[in-house]
Chain A
Amino acid sequence: MRRLLVVAAVVFAGGCMEVEQASSPAKQAGQTVKRDANPWSNEPLAMGPKWNKGDRTSWEEQIKKRQLEQHEHQRIYQ
């Protein structure tokens, strides 16, 4: 789903380790960029990884699990 505005609070909550950058003149002038929906807000594909729609934690869990496919040890020493 398309969201035009996402409040800064969500960003801060999401990227707690990250610096929220606000150095550009446009940003300082209060302009807000169009933003994306969060990936976990989508319905999983019929043939693909599964998580509970809208549940960030379950999405992240499956993403981290899938990520281990990039580590051949996962498959070799299963």
Chain B
Amino acid sequence: MLLTRKANESLADQRTAAVQHGRLAQGLSSVLGKTIDRRAFLKRSGITAGAGAVLATSVAQLPFSMIGTAEAAKEQAGGKIEVKRTICTHCSVGCAIDAVVQDGVWIRQEPVFDSPINLGAHCAKGASIREHGITHDSHRLKYPMKLEGGKWKKISWDTAYDEISKKLIEIRNDKEKGGPDALFVVGSSKHNNEQSYLLRKWVSLWGTNNCDHQARICHSTTVAGVAQTWGYGAMTNSYNDEQNSKSLFFLGSNAAEAHPVSMLHTLHAKENGCKVIVADPRYTRTAAKADIYVRFRSGTDVPMLFGILHHIFKNGWEDKQYIHNRVYGMEEVKKEVMAKWTPDKVTEATGCSEAEIFNVAKTLAENRPGFIIWAMGQTQHTNANAIVRASNILMLALGNVGRSGGGCNIYRGHDNVQGATDIGPNPDTLPGYYPVAVPGSWAHWSRVWNVDPKWIAERYAPGMQAKPGMTVSRWIDGVTEKNDVIDQGPNLRAIFFWGHAPNSQSRGADMVEAMKKLDLMVVLDPYPSASAAMFAMVRKDGAYLLPVATQLETEGSATCSNRSVQWREKVIDPLFESRTDHMIMYQLAQKLGFADQLVGKKDGKQNIKLVKGKGGEEPSMEDTLREINRGAWTIGYTGQSPERIQAHMRNMHLFDVKTLRAKGGKDAKTGYDLTGDYYGLPWPCYGTPALKHPGSPNLYDTSKHVMDGGGNFRALFGVERDGVNLLAEDGSHPKGAEITTGHPQFDHVLLKKLGWWDDLTDAEKVEAEGKTWATDLSGGIQRVALKHGCHPFGNAKARAIVWNFPDAIPQHREPLYSPRPDMVEKYPTHDDVKTLWRLPTLFKSVQQSAVKEEMHKKFPLILTSGRLVEYEGGGEETRSNPWLAELQQDNFVEINPKTAADRGIRNGEYVWVSTPAKNVDGKHVRLKVKAQVTERVGPDTCFIPFHFSGWWQGQDMLASYPDGAAPIVRGEAVNTATTYGYDRVTMMQETKTTLCQVAKFQA
């Protein structure tokens, strides 16, 4: 057995463990003088349970001189050695990995220095990813299981499929309280593109829009806010492009922990003179690398941003020509900012001095181009749609967007969250952001899918096909809310957790109440996840666990944050009895009666062939990508054929790091000429693969020809509003465009008007008639537009005013649980909404009752949450990896020395953190975590990382996990205690600003 594995049982001799651990740190302290280390203190305290168990069970059985058994040493023994190139599955940076495999066993991993994205570099998660392939003492879910009589029992795949499908059909056919909308499918941003696309199709073929994935609770507000401003809901440039930047403003991103390898580009830029600014309630690891750090009150991002903008306008630092050419509504924003966000108001809201804000404004103005960089720090607020738009406006005012070295670098979270957002299980859109509410979307996709549109329509409950589904952030209310107030027939009765942790969702205490009511829960995951334990904690039956292969056990493409699409080779076969996600989708579809539709089999034609996999047949990933290529015209997922992407993976060395472009070179295997391609063909990569569009490294960049990846802002919102032109002004267009002014999107009518219709081939004309650039399956309209140097989606202005949002100009609104009743008075939240995403949604009533009940006195501290470098998301996967788990063994709360001293709390001891959230018995939710006393947070703020689960308000949930499948490290999930609160537009959950109280631990 592998020594690095930790068994779950037994305790060790505390004395020896304490001596042994922390040795390096102790030794160092003599050299360094002052050593206080967040991790060291926790590790030292936690080593007892950790190393102890290992030592007792393993080390004692081996000679002292041995450090490990040699799973990897097989290399010498002979046997076939292969190197498989894959992509790290732990964040959106997209680090390449060469996996060395011998006889089907993953024996080593080597850095890929050629990758233009990571240049061989890895963080703790990437450098330990081989652990996923190790089977000794694995904490994976190994076979299908069922909860029966309060115990997890092993069952066969056939039994699982039979019972699950029988139950689903029973719920579907229940005329009184059932129907297709009684099912909610929580998909995953960890699925590859093909799987997430198939899952959206799967859910449509089942007949509901009740599906969602992590993007809802990570960047939904970004996607909505950014797309509504200028066209596409994505990071405008790449991590790499920061090397061309003069200033980087991190507002709501702790990249050093959440996207560590991106810091390679950031720090390289910094060494070349780029100014790094970090504004954050915490002095983060990223802040430690900044030139300027500004601490501000959590949730006051709009005042911060508009405070900066105030100085920019006041000093005339805005880019007036750029704004004239390319931005709608900036004058009105300016008026409001100058009147409302004067320095005194900004200081009152944020706690920052005028000088601090001025310094940031001046630095940004003097160092252009520059990026604003954000992640969950901006997005996970009840007011996040306004926050992200204020960020956009700031960058527009500086003229930073649509050029190399500047824009909005929005760091996505999961490895394929961008891809899953683009073409995956979203409740309001079909793949490629075709809205479910528009009938043409369904017509388009059923044609691509080779499925009868009427057949699909009949799968839906009447009137529900065009109605966006519920969101993952609110599924619990879909179960527990009164039936007469929800905007669909039945309440939710069945839920699939298909690669999604429950502890990344807020209101955990309410979630177990929803679990109590479910008829069926199916968890499909490589790890049982906290869903299994939470469910088994409150139920005796009603749940199934299906073991799923990781992304290292299948092939397929993934889209990194910068929109580059990379192809993963399969490293090893699915471990244990696990099967790939797409195999399970197909096999379940067979049981539910839509397997043929899933692979587009009709009239003697089949879009996606079936290939043999471990456990049966599965849809071909390459064919699935080709089907995506045939349909996702809106966002240019059409040019990235498997052949092109795979050629990129084999020839990474040809791509320039700063531009991502290949200067030349041919793929030895296929002869494909890579000249001019951008790495991973970052979307939009328009037209068919044969057109050889190179991809778009920086969106909206008018300095380049559209066939060189250039572009402009999208014409999505009409041509004028109240007599004001919404299209780009004369002279603002991509380099070489034949139309030198703003224009609407291309369709068959515009082509004819321009006299370009005859540029289409005869075959293209047949297909293009009556179509737009987004629905013409021949790609002819796009081809002709591009040929004339024009952008297929038109050429318009970005919108500083989004009139279709609740706040056309971004407004500051206090969090629902605010520490400042005086500010609630001045900046109240929205009115309650009767129906939002099928559910009643509360704003003002929650905020006002919090003020009335004086929550700010009972819970006087701000509670915010965030990431640690060692873990990812809900953390069950990474907390099951001993190489990572050893580094963070306890959940903790960061608390300022003053706050701690006032409460008699000492560093390293357990505390209770309680919040306004309530358990079903009316008692406030509380978390047992260790106190990390640190100046990292101010006296008004506490921070708890969100990756932990497996404890429930002081109790270890070990007994609720299937045997041998509990993660090594368990701890309190901060989201057990997070409170109600959702974004007004997207239903993003509030996890960044709520209230808490901290007290000494008493049992």
Q: How far is the CA of A62 from the CA of B637 in the complex (A)?
A: 41
**When the two chains form their complex, are residues B264 and A72 in contact, meaning their CB atoms are under 8 A apart?**
yes
**When the two chains form their complex, are residues B268 and A69 in contact, meaning their CB atoms are under 8 A apart?**
no
Q: How far is the CA of A69 from the CA of B119 in the complex (A)?
A: 8
**When the two chains form their complex, are residues A76 and B657 in contact, meaning their CB atoms are under 8 A apart?**
yes
Tell me, rounded to whole Å, the shortest Cβ–Cβ distance linking B663 to chain A: 10
**When the two chains form their complex, are residues B119 and A46 in contact, meaning their CB atoms are under 8 A apart?**
no
Q: How far is the CA of A69 from the CA of B114 in the complex (A)?
A: 9
Tell me, rounded to whole Å, the shortest Cβ–Cβ distance linking A33 to chain B: 15
**When the two chains form their complex, are residues A76 and B268 in contact, meaning their CB atoms are under 8 A apart?**
yes
**When the two chains form their complex, are residues A76 and B243 in contact, meaning their CB atoms are under 8 A apart?**
yes
Tell me, rounded to whole Å, the shortest Cβ–Cβ distance linking A67 to chain B: 11
Q: Cβ of B658: which chain A residues have Cβ within 8 Å of it?
A: 76
Q: Give chain B interface residues in 81-100, CB to chain A under 8 Å.
A: 81, 83, 100
- Could you say which of B83, B100, B113 contacts A75, with CB atoms under 8 Å apart? B113
Q: Cβ of A9: which chain B residues have Cβ within 8 Å of it?
A: none
Q: Give chain A interface residues in 25-78, CB to chain B under 8 Å.
A: 46-47, 69, 72, 75-76
Q: How far is the CA of A46 from the CA of B120 in the complex (A)?
A: 20
Closest to A71 in B: B119
Q: Counting chain A CB atoms within 10 Å of each CB, which of B81, B113, B658 scores highest?
A: B113
- Could you say which of A47, A69, A76 contacts B83, with CB atoms under 8 Å apart? A47
Tell me, rounded to whole Å, the shortest Cβ–Cβ distance linking B126 to chain A: 16
**When the two chains form their complex, are residues B81 and A75 in contact, meaning their CB atoms are under 8 A apart?**
no
Q: How far is the CA of A49 from the CA of B623 in the complex (A)?
A: 36
Q: Cβ of A47: which chain B residues have Cβ within 8 Å of it?
A: 81, 83, 100
Q: How far is the CA of A76 from the CA of B658 in the complex (A)?
A: 7
**Chain A, interface residues (CB within 8 Å), range:** under 10
**When the two chains form their complex, are residues A69 and B657 in contact, meaning their CB atoms are under 8 A apart?**
no
Q: Cβ of B113: which chain A residues have Cβ within 8 Å of it?
A: 69, 75
**Chain B, interface residues (CB within 8 Å), range:** 10 to 19
Closest to B268 in A: A72
Tell me, rounded to whole Å, the shortest Cβ–Cβ distance linking A5 to chain B: 21
Q: How far is the CA of A75 from the CA of B660 in the complex (A)?
A: 12
Question: B104-118: contact bitstring with A at CB < 8 Å (1 yes, 0 no)?
Answer: 000000010110100
Closest to B100 in A: A47
Q: How far is the CA of A76 from the CA of B657 in the complex (A)?
A: 5
Q: How many A-B residue pairs have CB under 8 A?
A: 21
Q: Give chain B interface residues in 240-269, CB to chain A under 8 Å.
A: 243, 264, 268
Q: Cβ of B268: which chain A residues have Cβ within 8 Å of it?
A: 72, 76
Q: Cβ of A76: which chain B residues have Cβ within 8 Å of it?
A: 243, 268, 657-658
Q: How far is the CA of A40 from the CA of B817 in the complex (A)?
A: 65
Q: Cβ of B81: which chain A residues have Cβ within 8 Å of it?
A: 46-47
Q: Cβ of B111: which chain A residues have Cβ within 8 Å of it?
A: 69
Tell me, rounded to whole Å, the shortest Cβ–Cβ distance linking A78 to chain B: 8
Q: How far is the CA of A46 from the CA of B658 in the complex (A)?
A: 32
**When the two chains form their complex, are residues A72 and B119 in contact, meaning their CB atoms are under 8 A apart?**
yes
Tell me, rounded to whole Å, the shortest Cβ–Cβ distance linking B667 to chain A: 19
Q: Cβ of A69: which chain B residues have Cβ within 8 Å of it?
A: 111, 113, 119-120
Q: Cβ of B120: which chain A residues have Cβ within 8 Å of it?
A: 69
Question: B645-678: contact bitstring with A at CB < 8 Å (1 yes, 0 no)?
Answer: 0000000000001100000000000000000000
Q: Cβ of B264: which chain A residues have Cβ within 8 Å of it?
A: 72
Closest to A47 in B: B83
Q: How far is the CA of A76 from the CA of B81 in the complex (A)?
A: 31
Q: How far is the CA of A69 from the CA of B264 in the complex (A)?
A: 13
Closest to A46 in B: B81
Tell me, rounded to whole Å, the shortest Cβ–Cβ distance linking B651 to chain A: 14
Q: How far is the CA of A46 from the CA of B75 in the complex (A)?
A: 11
Q: Cβ of A75: which chain B residues have Cβ within 8 Å of it?
A: 113-114, 116, 119, 657
Q: Give chain B interface residues in 256-311, CB to chain A under 8 Å.
A: 264, 268
Q: Cβ of B114: which chain A residues have Cβ within 8 Å of it?
A: 75
Q: How far is the CA of A72 from the CA of B114 in the complex (A)?
A: 11
Q: How far is the CA of A4 from the CA of B119 in the complex (A)?
A: 39
Closest to B119 in A: A75
Q: Give chain B interface residues in 113-167, CB to chain A under 8 Å.
A: 113-114, 116, 119-120
Q: How far is the CA of A72 from the CA of B656 in the complex (A)?
A: 12
Q: Cβ of A72: which chain B residues have Cβ within 8 Å of it?
A: 119, 264, 268, 657
Q: How far is the CA of A72 from the CA of B242 in the complex (A)?
A: 14
Q: How far is the CA of A76 from the CA of B113 in the complex (A)?
A: 11
Tell me, rounded to whole Å, the shortest Cβ–Cβ distance linking B78 to chain A: 11
Tell me, rounded to whole Å, the shortest Cβ–Cβ distance linking B779 to chain A: 35
Tell me, rounded to whole Å, the shortest Cβ–Cβ distance linking A48 to chain B: 8
Question: A9-22: contact bitstring with B at CB < 8 Å (1 yes, 0 no)?
Answer: 00000000000000
Tell me, rounded to whole Å, the shortest Cβ–Cβ distance linking A34 to chain B: 12
Q: How far is the CA of A76 from the CA of B111 in the complex (A)?
A: 16
Closest to B113 in A: A69
Q: How far is the CA of A65 from the CA of B729 in the complex (A)?
A: 52
Q: Cβ of B243: which chain A residues have Cβ within 8 Å of it?
A: 76
Q: How far is the CA of A69 from the CA of B121 in the complex (A)?
A: 10
Q: How far is the CA of A75 from the CA of B111 in the complex (A)?
A: 14
Q: How far is the CA of A72 from the CA of B263 in the complex (A)?
A: 12
Tell me, rounded to whole Å, the shortest Cβ–Cβ distance linking A62 to chain B: 14
Tell me, rounded to whole Å, the shortest Cβ–Cβ distance linking B92 to chain A: 20
Q: Give chain B interface residues in 916-973, CB to chain A under 8 Å.
A: none
Q: Cβ of B119: which chain A residues have Cβ within 8 Å of it?
A: 69, 72, 75
Q: How far is the CA of A47 from the CA of B243 in the complex (A)?
A: 33
Q: How far is the CA of A76 from the CA of B586 in the complex (A)?
A: 44
Q: Counting chain B CB atoms within 10 Å of each CB, which of A46, A69, A76 scores highest?
A: A76
Q: How far is the CA of A76 from the CA of B114 in the complex (A)?
A: 10
Q: How far is the CA of A47 from the CA of B116 in the complex (A)?
A: 21
Closest to B83 in A: A47
Q: Cβ of B83: which chain A residues have Cβ within 8 Å of it?
A: 47
Q: How far is the CA of A10 from the CA of B349 in the complex (A)?
A: 71
Q: Cβ of A46: which chain B residues have Cβ within 8 Å of it?
A: 81
Q: How far is the CA of A69 from the CA of B100 in the complex (A)?
A: 20
Q: How far is the CA of A75 from the CA of B113 in the complex (A)?
A: 8
Tell me, rounded to whole Å, the shortest Cβ–Cβ distance linking B912 to chain A: 46
Q: How far is the CA of A75 from the CA of B112 in the complex (A)?
A: 12
Q: How far is the CA of A69 from the CA of B243 in the complex (A)?
A: 18
- Sample (18) of A-B pairs whose CB atoms are under 8 Å apart: A46-B81, A47-B81, A47-B83, A47-B100, A69-B111, A69-B113, A69-B119, A72-B119, A72-B264, A72-B268, A75-B113, A75-B114, A75-B116, A75-B119, A75-B657, A76-B243, A76-B268, A76-B657
Q: Which 3 A-B pairs have the closest CB atoms?
A: A69-B113, A76-B657, A75-B119
- Further contacts, 18 of them, CB under 8 A, given A72-B264, A72-B268, A76-B657: A46-B81, A47-B81, A47-B83, A47-B100, A69-B111, A69-B113, A69-B119, A69-B120, A72-B119, A72-B657, A75-B113, A75-B114, A75-B116, A75-B119, A75-B657, A76-B243, A76-B268, A76-B658
